[in-house]
Amino acid sequence: MTVSIGVTGATGRMGGEVLAAAADRDDLSVAFAVSRSPGDEVEGVAVEDAADFADLLASHDPDAVVDFTGPASCIEYASACAEAGVAFVTGTTGLSEGGFDALREAASEAPVLYASNFSRGIAALRRAVREAVPALDGYDIELTETHHNAKRDAPSGTALTILDDIDDVRGDSERVHGREGEAPRSEGEVGVHARRAGDIAGEHEVLLAGNHESLSLTHRAGSRGVFAAGALDAAAWLADRDAGWYDFTEVLE
């Protein structure tokens, strides 16, 4: 069975990657793509007006929508999908707590899958972090993420997910963002550093140090294609699920 998808943010970096990755797959077809600036084709797909999103859902009835946009638009697209009962996969980061609440509300009417990172490598890094942190009790932890110079949110959504993983396994810790002037470490804090440069697709390093040794767990995305491929795997997996909140780790099981 071919799973048909709608793609939002078609003129964005990830929107283009998703359309390119979808063109290479036999199990998926693109029902429509939307943008706030419709007109030109992206990856051979006509780009329609984002203002017509609800109508496009009704007329094309896609199995899933794949969204990499911005926090406000993500919620609008999710609500429209919930109303239409269409599965919604989103990798949009920078959502507020209220934004996550709205996304969870959408999940009461349609299947919703959010992941701050759709790479298998980050899924593996998260498992490694959850194992290393309790094994290295009392070690200092510093998290550094590096992204392209056009990224809006900081720290990255992936960094926030990893910080939550650390809190899960060793209890809530103080997060210290950057370091300047008289700023010694306090016990148990996690230092968080965000770098922005060039066209780096995404790097995350978790450094644990203590007891005259250090362990560095690092993931580097070679291109955005890895995120697009993971999001499409998620869309194919989510398409026929019941309404509810799903996680990318379930797709990988």
Ligand X SMILES: O=C(O)C1=N[C@H](C(=O)O)C[C@H](O)C1
Ligand Y SMILES: NC(=O)C1=CN([C@@H]2O[C@H](COP(=O)(O)OP(=O)(O)OC[C@H]3O[C@@H](n4cnc5c(N)ncnc54)[C@H](OP(=O)(O)O)[C@@H]3O)[C@@H](O)[C@H]2O)C=CC1
**Which are the catalytic amino acids?**
147, 151
* Binding window for ligand Y (CB under 6 A); candidates: 89-97, 100-108, 210-218, 233-241: 89-97
- Give the binding range for ligand Y (CB under 6 A) out of 20-28, 51-59, 115-123, 130-138: 115-123
Contacts to ligand X by CB under 6 A: 93, 116-117, 147-148, 151, 156-158, 202
> Between residue 136 and residue 175, which ones bind ligand Y under the rule CB under 6 A?
153, 157
173 binds, among ligand Y, ligand X, none (CB under 5 to 8 A by kind): none
- Rounded to an integer, what distance in angstroms lies between the CA atom of residue 150 and that of residue 152? 6
Among 115, 129, 159, 229, binds ligand Y (CB under 6 A): 115
Q: At what angle do helices 13-23 and 225-238 cross, to 10 degrees?
A: 70
Which CB, 13 or 104, lies closer to ligand Y?
A: 13
Size of the site for ligand Y (CB under 6 A): 28
Between 200 and 207, CB nearer to ligand X: 200
Sign of the alpha-carbon dihedral angle for 90, 32, 253, 14: negative
Binding part of the chain for ligand Y, among 33-41, 127-135, 169-177, 188-196 by CB under 6 A, reads: 33-41
Instruction: State the binding partner of 29 from ligand Y, ligand X, none, CB within 5 to 8 A by kind.
Output: none
Strand partners, 23: none
Q: Is 93 annotated as a binding residue?
A: yes
Which residues of the chain form contacts with ligand Y (CB under 6 A)?
9-15, 35-37, 50, 68-70, 72-73, 91-94, 115-118, 153, 157, 224, 227
